[in-house]
Amino acid sequence: MEIEVVTASGSRSVATVTANPNTTVGEIKKQLNKLKKGTYVQRQCLRLSPKGKALGNEETVEALQLKSGAKLYYKDLGPQIGWKTVFIAEYAGPLAVYFWLYRRPWIFYGNLADSTFSPVVHWAVACWSIHYIKRLLETVFVHRFSHSTMPLRNLFKNCTYYWLFAMYVAYHVNHPLYTPPCSLSFVIGATAFFVCELGNLSIHLALRNLRPPGTTIRKIPMATRNPFTLLFNLVSCPNYTYEIGSWIGFTIMTQCLPAGLFTLAGAYQMTVWAQGKHKLYKKEFSNYPKCRKAIIPFVL
């Protein structure tokens, strides 16, 4: 059978491809690329309607109920970059920026840099390092991505957010005039940080085991024998819940306003992501647990 591919804006003909019931969307994209009518596969987006949902590469012509003469709508997503590359740049930057201010204070504070730093300052850089080193290691060894690439423009947007916030937080925590919190606040904050970091890692490992290597299979995430994963019984995205908990702990531990603002900004964005994933889970799985919230148990 023949399927016509047209532009999503204007419905201008791009090419006519040949297919059979078992032909996948990914194979159609490869045909477009070979015909020099489309860019590389990761940059292409095909839809059933001009403003419809992007079709997955594994979906077949038969499953989409396409007949001979049917139309698919094509959109160029623009330059792409690998998710791993983006994550590594996002997370390596804050690590380097924070260490730069920590190890070279005289560049930023002049003669004040000769002041004696509180032990909290050293604990703060240790916690910051643990968090971002963990993220880097998870990116390389743990995460399995359903999409291999993302728009290149996101690299600059995401890096700007992470790198500038790292500088903002580090500048204040490492400032010679920084006033540390009381011992009780430090202990409570540090304990919350380390517990939530372990919880976040546990959730990422559990999510990794849901998806076999090289596939995009999706399953309902469930608690495992690891007690940290019990949070799956209450929320759809406990990795975000633990992530927010880590930064709340860091904020309490340092009692630094920029750290609090970083926590609020991150919490807002993760709440948006969590609500989107929660809706997707409920739509995709008819037996999805009704008692779960998106990110905050019993509340949101």
Q: What is the pLDDT of residues 248-300, one digit of tens each?
A: 999 999 999 999 999 999 999 999 999 999 999 999 899 999 999 999 999 99
Grade residue 18 by pLDDT with cuts at 50, 70 and 90. Answer: confident
For residue 12, what pLDDT is reported?
81
Q: What is the per-residue pLDDT across 168-199, written as a single tens digit (0 to 9) for each?
A: 999 999 998 899 999 999 999 999 999 999 99
Domains delineated in the chain: 2-78 (3.10.20.90), 81-284 (no CATH)
Give residues with Cβ within 8 angstroms of 162, minimum separation 6: 90, 91, 93, 94
Name the residue with higher pLDDT: 113 or 5.
5
Q: Is the pLDDT of residue 116 over 90?
A: no
Whole-number pLDDT of residue 37: 65
Tell me which residue of 177, 173, 288, 176 sits closest to 222, measured CA to CA. 288
Closest CA to 172 of 90, 92, 250: 250
Which CB contacts under 8 angstroms, 24+ apart, belong to 125-128? 125/98, 125/99, 125/173, 125/174, 127/190, 127/193, 127/194, 127/250, 127/253, 128/94, 128/95, 128/98, 128/166, 128/169, 128/170, 128/250
Task: Say yes or no to pLDDT of 146 above 70.
Answer: no
Question: In sequence order, which ranges of 225-299 are alpha helices (DSSP H)?
Answer: 238-254, 257-284
The rounded distance, in Å, linking the Cα atoms of 292 and 141 is 29
Any idea how long the chain is? Answer: 300
How many angstroms separate the Cα of 226 from the Cα of each of 199, 200, 243? 9, 12, 17
pLDDT band at 114 (very low <50, low <70, confident <90, very high): low
Specify the pTM. Answer: 0.84
CA–CA gap between residue 117 and residue 177 (Å, rounded) = 9
> How many Å apart are CA 89 and CA 46, to the nearest integer?
29
User: Would you say residue 131 has pLDDT above 90?
Assistant: yes
* Mean pLDDT on 18-35: 85
